[in-house]
Amino acid sequence: MASTIFRSLHSHPFLFHPTALIRRKDVILYCTMRSAQTQTATQEKVKPQVKVSPHGTQSKALEKASKDYEAVIGIETHVQLNTLTKAFCSCPYNYGSPPNTSVCPICMGLPGALPVLNLKVIDSAVKVGLALNCKLSLNSKFDRKQYFYPDLPKGYQISQFDVPIATSGYIDLDLPLEFGGGHRKFGITRVHMEEDAGKLLHSEGGSYSQVDLNRAGVPLLEIVSEPDMRNGIEAAEYAAELQRLVRYLGVSNGNMQEGSLRCDVNVSVRPIGQLQFGTKVEIKNLNSFSSVSRAIDYEISRQVLLHSQGQDKEIVQETRLWEEGAQKTVTMRKKEGLADYRYFPEPDLPGVFLTTDYVDGIRNSLPELPETKRRRYEKMGLSMQDVLFLANDMNVAEFFDTTITKGADVKLATNWIMGDIAAYMKNEKLTINEIKLTPQELAELIASIKDGTISGKIGKEILFELLAKGGTVKGLIEAKDLVQIVDPAEIEKWVEKVLSENPKQLEQYRGGKTKLQGYFAGQVMKLSKGKANPGLLNKILLEKLNAKS
Amino acid sequence: MISTLQPPRSLSHFRSNPTLLLRYTSLKPLSSLSSQPVTHSTIPDQSQSPNPPSHSQILSTRHSLLSRHLTATQLAESFLTRLRLTEPHLRSFLHVSDSVLAQARELDEKIQRNEELGPLAGVLVAIKDNICTAEMPSTAGSRVLEGYTPPYDATAVRKIKELGGIVVGKTNLDEFGMGSTTEASAYQVTANPWDISRVPGGSSGGSAAAVSARQCMVSLGSDTGGSVRQPASFCGVVGLKPTYGRVSRFGLMAYASSLDVIGCFGTSVADAGILLHAISGHDRLDATSSKREVPDFSAQFVSMNLLESKPLKGLRIGLIRETLDDGVDTGVTSAVRTAALHLEELGCCVTEVSLPSFSLGLPAYYILASSESSSNLSRYDGVRYGNQVAADELNSQYMDSRAKGFGSEVHYVKRRILTGTYALSAGYYDAYYKRAQQVRTVIQKSFKTALDEHDILISPAAPSAAYKIGEKKNDPLAMYAGDIMTVNVNLAGLPALVLPCGFVEGGPAGLPVGLQMIGAAFDEGKLLKVAHIFEQTLQNCRFVPPLIADEVA
């Protein structure tokens, strides 16, 4: 059958139909704007001082007003799962493939085609559900969510409605110190499985749009938070923690730029003390954690301003778009009441039944999760800054853990990883898995410095050698003859040589200009090609300098 | 009427041949076909009885080919000739394959080389046009899919081809299967071979008429609320609706996914059973297809001369009381009662059984089927395939494409979409869709109880025999009411077989009446066994329509 499909599809590799063209004015670009700015994992730092206010001149008044109001923020996150094939057919999905090259009758919604669930989607959903401390529905189902849009081939999206696979969980996270630090626990309302829609490509002239269905049918998890966040930073950190989690679990690459992790945030504002929520506004087009944070802070300011001016009626339930260039949110569409998606149970798919054995199997296969890791590192005596750095990336954490297992000192290993190794990775744009240094050799290096075989300075040189070219610490020390000189007689010879060659400075020193000790130490070290043990060197040098006075 | 406005597509070449413009009343050229070998070798043992029981065309085809009495080409030619001659009167096909003879010749070469033949080798099969075929247009009888050829074969079609079957063409139907007369096709109205002023039933009217008129040997239909069984009854052929999940729905254009099944038509119970066996089984492309093993149904077909005097002794049969109520034609009731007597003579214990929830089936069915169809038909938006009406604005494009694409007669497709959309809307869901699902559960339970006490249940297949074209067209409620006998079975997902059991007055030679037999889930084997014995022992009935009676006499 495959060959038949290919034949008929290849005849129109891009447009199935000349009429896959839609007038642009009817179509609104949804969320997948590509940003030129690059994002490096979650270490993208949100600048805490950024506070955009709608009207600069009013910022003072606003600051005052904002003390009287509280923002309530909830987030809907779509996580694209990295299963080999789509949710309901055997098409692969690779980001950036030419349009409509990864499609079949099923994901194109051709007449007569039926969905068959990819069981890996359930595995991923259960993993995420467990990792988010959710209650799992052992008996859930799929539903159809119905609406018309050119990127939705069947006229409905296969999703889960009233019985999502996971509910009532929470996520723990630690705010970075630069944002005031502190531990937070945010509620998770639900996690459900659904399929992605295609993408619309708008023509340059704007007279028509084209449909790319490569992404149609790609599995998503929608994760809905409780409205527990109160500012942009908390929301951005929540998103970052979700990204960390799905990467730890290996269910998604969590890449925001590619749209593998998409956040839609709901923001409302209410006077402090009021129990009832204010009117919520949804914000889309958030392509980075910093835009999540900035868009929310902007939106809070906008709403607080309206409240403080008695214009809170101007806040309407609507979807607003974050404009990265202008750093503000603008109206995308106003909702007239709730959209009626006419959900009903998907008759083409049987119910999803989980056994406790299956769930236990998944539970036992889960890796150590970020929160557990952070608490463990904390107990090891590391500072929160160190903890957050190490636990941020599962591979860095694993590198660190292995280094420790090989006997390295915890604090020293942390310093090396966070210092020179991180700097090297950043400069060379490499991940920790791509550098040539192994945890074994890092442990060896730390041990060699600690036991005095090499000096710290030599250690650094060796480190860069190891990072770039690999090899072993022992091998490099031998090859380059870098073993530290700890023989007092040898050092004494160098000291004497330096003193005899610098009579003028010696005289000045003995005349009271004791600062010159550093100069002599440097000369001796230079003579030893850096190999003299600094402690011994200074001890002998002092003895000699002060001997004949 | 639709047919006068829209000439048949792909069949217009038939009309250009003046010798084929025959009047129904003088079918003399047909009788000249009687010298063709097919009439002799496919209807054996005629000398023994004036009204021989229906025999398996599939088995005799196989026998003829293997014994080299006939070539596949000869067989195909004789059917194609009859198809050409009868088609102007019946209009059962929306598309006729142009490769039938080529495939037959290929098969003859295989026979010459003594290659192994598939169980359906040389069998001429017609396919309802809402079932996808890769090499032929598949329109579901709708303008919205005019000219659409799918890139793949439905699983059932693939299996037929793999077993050697030759697809003759695509048969007419009510648009997307929504209707009971085949009048709701966007292309043409099909006539009943027993009386061409009457409807063949529907929605699989084309498939039923084609088998009845021997335009093909067997055919595939689809049954959402009776669309195989009711036309089988109207056209005097065997119609088999399998258990939901027995046959893959992959490639069947969905009407109501939880009710739809692909079913079989044949001129004998054996043919329907053999065809069902060919298309049954789990399909990894249909998550609702069952993994149950498919038994060899043909093992159930005991030869007539081996039958004891009471071959069905001890079999408990329940005659559903509610199906003989007011509103059912007396001719139909009496034919079914006569059939019940016949079953008793065969040794069955026939008792009346009441299904109190029976009358709830129709409203529940129409809510569920409409709800699912409103969703299933959303994909016909003119964006990716099918007819599109160009517009400046997206919503207009949707509205115009769908308004023009779906049939102009509102009470078929459009009424169902509207009804279903309404039933699923916020605030109405609980009152309609959810309640209908509850009724469905009640109906399933009541069938379960009745089938715990009986081996099979029997009823008429329809409240009347075939009625006149146009008679109920503008009375949707009357047409909906005609589905009362069949929809409950779909709601329960059970297998049911309809076979002709007698006649009522009407038309030039009387009109056939079908008996419906309902079995427990996945118990098609028992239905086929009982139906086969019933068929082989039925006296003084011969279900060959007058249109071709001379030829097949």
Residue A543: is its pLDDT beyond 60? Answer: yes
Question: What's the confidence (pLDDT) of residue B45?
Answer: 40
Is residue A31 assigned to a domain? no
**Of A457 and B40, the one with more pLDDT:** A457
Count of other CB atoms within 10 angstroms of residue B44: 13
- Closest Cα of chain A to B273: distance in Å? 24
Is residue A196 within 8 A of residue A215, CB to CB? The reply is yes
* Range A247-263 average pLDDT: 94
Whether residues A462 and A328 fall in one domain: no
* Range A266-292 average pLDDT: 91
Asked if A105 lies within 8 A of B151 by C-beta distance, the reply is yes
Among A31-45, A529-543, B205-219, name the one with the lowest average pLDDT. A31-45
Mutate to test the interface with A, among B152, B248, B250 (most CBs of A within 10 A): B152
Question: What's the confidence (pLDDT) of residue B552?
Answer: 64
Question: What's the confidence (pLDDT) of residue A389?
Answer: 92
**Annotated catalytic, B203?**
yes
What CATH number is given to the structural domain containing A510?
Answer: 1.10.10.410
Q: State the DSSP string of B231-249.
A: HHHHHTSEEEEPPTTTB--
The CA-based dihedral angle spanning residues A201, A204, A209, A211, taken in that order and rounded to the nearest 10 degrees: -30
Question: What's the confidence (pLDDT) of residue A81?
Answer: 97
Asked if B152 lies within 8 A of A342 by C-beta distance, the reply is no
Average pLDDT score, chain A: 84
The rounded distance, in Å, linking the Cα atoms of B95 and B487 is 29
- Closest Cα of chain B to A151: distance in Å? 9
SS3 A96: coil
Residue of B nearest to A25 (CA): B393
Question: What's the confidence (pLDDT) of residue A452?
Answer: 75
Task: Confirm or reject contact between B24 and chain A (CB < 8 A).
Answer: no
Mutate to test the interface with B, among A8, A10, A114 (most CBs of B within 10 A): A114
Terminal alpha carbon distance of chain B: 34
* Range B230-259 average pLDDT: 98
Asked if A22 lies within 8 A of B378 by C-beta distance, the reply is no
The rounded distance, in Å, linking the Cα atoms of B198 and A463 is 93
Whether residues A92 and A179 fall in one domain: yes
Share of chain A above pLDDT 90, in %: 49
Q: B-chain residues within 8 Å CB-CB of A9?
A: 151
Nearest to A344 among B150, B251, B424 (CB): B424
Among A236-245, B189-198, B222-231, B406-415, name the one with the lowest average pLDDT. B406-415
**Of B247 and A41, the one with more pLDDT:** B247
Residue A539: is its pLDDT beyond 90? Answer: no
Asked if A146 lies within 8 A of B381 by C-beta distance, the reply is no
Whether residues A398 and A340 fall in one domain: no
Asked if B253 lies within 8 A of A112 by C-beta distance, the reply is yes
Q: A-chain residues within 8 Å CB-CB of B397?
A: 22
Instruction: Please report which confidence band the pLDDT of residue B308 belongs to, taking 50, 70 and 90 as the band edges.
Output: confident
Whether residues A55 and A129 fall in one domain: yes
Which amino acid is present at A500? S
Is residue A361 assigned to a domain? no
Q: B-chain residues within 8 Å CB-CB of A211?
A: 383-384
Q: Among 3.90.1300.10, 3.30.1180.20, 3.30.1300.10, 3.40.190.10, name the CATH number for the domain at B2-39+54-315+486-552.
A: 3.90.1300.10
Distances (CA, A) of B36 to B60, B75, B77, B191: 16, 9, 10, 26
SS3 A185: strand
Nearest to A156 among B148, B375, B395 (CB): B375
SS3 B477: helix
Tell which of A460, A479, A498 closes a domain: A479
* Range A172-195 average pLDDT: 94
Nearest to B394 among A26, A344, A348 (CB): A26
Residue B355: is its pLDDT beyond 60? Answer: yes
Q: A-chain residues within 8 Å CB-CB of B291?
A: none
Residue A11: is its pLDDT beyond 70? Answer: no
The winner for highest mean pLDDT among A298-307, B110-119, B380-389 is: B110-119
Question: What's the confidence (pLDDT) of residue B51?
Answer: 59
Asked if B258 lies within 8 A of A8 by C-beta distance, the reply is no
How many Cα atoms are found within 13 Å in the side-chain-facing hemisphere of B219? Answer: 38
Asked if B152 lies within 8 A of A17 by C-beta distance, the reply is no
Residue A259: is its pLDDT beyond 60? Answer: yes
Question: What's the confidence (pLDDT) of residue A202?
Answer: 85
Residue B229: is its pLDDT beyond 80? Answer: yes
Question: What's the confidence (pLDDT) of residue B416?
Answer: 94
Nearest to B375 among A22, A146, A350 (CB): A146
The rounded distance, in Å, linking the Cα atoms of B440 and A345 is 15
Task: Confirm or reject contact between B388 and chain A (CB < 8 A).
Answer: yes
Whether residues A143 and A188 fall in one domain: yes
The position carrying tokens 């004036």 is: B50
The rounded distance, in Å, linking the Cα atoms of A47 and A327 is 14
Residue of A nearest to B395 (CA): A26
Asked whether the whole model's pTM tops 0.95, one would answer no
Residue B203: is its pLDDT beyond 60? Answer: yes
CB pairs under 8 A between A and B: 137
**Annotated catalytic, B310?**
no
B491-521 pLDDT per residue, tens: 999 999 999 999 999 989 999 999 999 999 9
Tell which of A479, A502, A527 closes a domain: A479
Residue A85: is its pLDDT beyond 50? Answer: yes
Task: Confirm or reject contact between B548 and chain A (CB < 8 A).
Answer: no
- Closest Cα of chain B to A246: distance in Å? 28
Q: Which residues pair with B131 in a beta bridge?
A: B252
* Range A504-526 average pLDDT: 86
B56-77 pLDDT per residue, tens: 999 999 999 999 999 999 999 9
Asked if B140 lies within 8 A of A111 by C-beta distance, the reply is yes
A106-116 pLDDT per residue, tens: 999 999 999 99
Is residue B36 within 8 A of residue B119, CB to CB? The reply is no
The winner for highest mean pLDDT among A299-303, B223-227, B396-400 is: B223-227
> Residue A524 sits in which domain range?
488-547
- Closest Cα of chain B to A474: distance in Å? 58
Is residue B129 within 8 A of residue B139, CB to CB? The reply is yes
What's phi and psi for B130, nearest 5 deg? -95, 10
Among A12-21, A76-85, A235-244, B166-175, name the one with the lowest average pLDDT. A12-21
Residue A24: is its pLDDT beyond 60? Answer: no
Question: What's the confidence (pLDDT) of residue A204?
Answer: 80
**Of B328 and A22, the one with more pLDDT:** B328
Asked if A343 lies within 8 A of B286 by C-beta distance, the reply is no
Residue A59: is its pLDDT beyond 70? Answer: no
Is residue A530 assigned to a domain? yes
**Annotated catalytic, B128?**
yes
Per domain, the residue ranges of chain B are: 2-39+54-315+486-552
Question: What's the confidence (pLDDT) of residue A28?
Answer: 33
Question: What's the confidence (pLDDT) of residue A17?
Answer: 42
Whether residues A347 and A401 fall in one domain: no
Asked if A110 lies within 8 A of B151 by C-beta distance, the reply is yes
**Of A281 and A11, the one with more pLDDT:** A281
Q: Which residues contact B284 (CB under 8 A, 6 or more apart)?
A: A116
Residue of A nearest to B373 (CA): A347
* Range A515-535 average pLDDT: 84
Which B residues in the span 112-131 are in contact with A, Cβ-Cβ below 8 Å? 131
Whether residues A339 and A425 fall in one domain: no
Tell which of A445, A479, A513 closes a domain: A479
**Of A408 and B490, the one with more pLDDT:** B490
Which amino acid is present at A68? D
Question: What's the confidence (pLDDT) of residue A253?
Answer: 94
* Range B450-465 average pLDDT: 96
Whether residues A289 and A142 fall in one domain: yes
Asked if B384 lies within 8 A of A340 by C-beta distance, the reply is no
Nearest to A117 among B152, B287, B377 (CB): B287
Distance of CA B187 to the CA centre of its chain: 19
Q: State the DSSP string of A319-342.
A: EEEEETTTTEEEEEEE--S-----
Is residue A131 assigned to a domain? yes
Task: Confirm or reject contact between B269 and chain A (CB < 8 A).
Answer: no
Is residue A345 assigned to a domain? yes
Instruction: Please report which confidence band the pLDDT of residue A62 belongs to, taking 50, 70 and 90 as the band edges.
Output: low
A209-235 pLDDT per residue, tens: 899 999 999 999 999 999 999 999 999
Q: B-chain residues within 8 Å CB-CB of A5?
A: 151-152
Is residue A386 assigned to a domain? no
**Of A306 and B53, the one with more pLDDT:** A306
Distance of CA A172 to the CA centre of its chain: 15
Q: Which residues of A touch B (CB under 8 A)?
A: 1, 4-5, 7-9, 16-17, 19-20, 22-23, 25-27, 105, 108-117, 144, 146, 148, 150, 153-156, 211, 338, 340, 342-344, 347-350
Q: How many domains does chain A have?
A: 3
Beta strands in A155-226 (DSSP E): 156-159, 166-174, 183-195, 199-202, 209-212, 219-225
Instruction: Please report which confidence band the pLDDT of residue B267 belongs to, taking 50, 70 and 90 as the band edges.
Output: very high
Nearest to B384 among A16, A112, A117 (CB): A16
Task: Confirm or reject contact between B397 and chain A (CB < 8 A).
Answer: yes
